[in-house]
Amino acid sequence: MTSAGNQEVGQPSAVIRDQIREFVRDSLASPKGIASFTDTESLTENGVVDSLGIFRLVSFLEDTFGTRISDEEITAQNLSSIELIEQLVVSKQQK
C-alpha cells in the first residue's frame, strides 16, 4: 500500500488522469453538490474549482506527483480541466 506522497514518478498518463479526476470529484466537486463533469470541461466555469480550490489542487498535485508547480504555472490555461492538469503533470515529470 502506498500513500499519496509516495507515488512513482513517470506513471502512465491514464493513471495520472484517474488520480486527478478522483481528487477533483471527491474533494472539490462533491462538497459543492456537483455530481459529474468531463475531462475537457472547464472546472472554473462549471463551479468545481474556485480560488481556494486552486490552492488545494496545486497542493494535491505537488504532494501526489512529486512535482513543483511555480506561481507562473498556476494559470487558467494549465488548470482549467482534468485533461490540461494531466498534461501539466506529465510535462513536469518529463523534466
25-75: pLDDT as tens digits: 999 999 999 999 999 999 999 999 999 999 999 999 999 999 999 999 999
**Residue 66 belongs to domain spanning:** 12-93
pLDDT at 7: 46
Does residue 74 belong to any structural domain of this protein?
yes
Does residue 57 belong to any structural domain of this protein?
yes
One-character DSSP codes across the chain: ---GGGPPTT--HHHHHHHHHHHIIIIIIGGGT-----SSS-TTTTTS--HHHHHHHHHHHHHHH-----GGG-SHHHHSSHHHHHHHHHHHHT-
Residue in 79, 65, 87, 81 with CA at minimum distance from that of residue 19: 65
pLDDT beyond 70 at 19: yes
Please give the model's pTM, rounded to 2 decimal places. Answer: 0.86
CATH number at residue 70: 1.10.1200.10
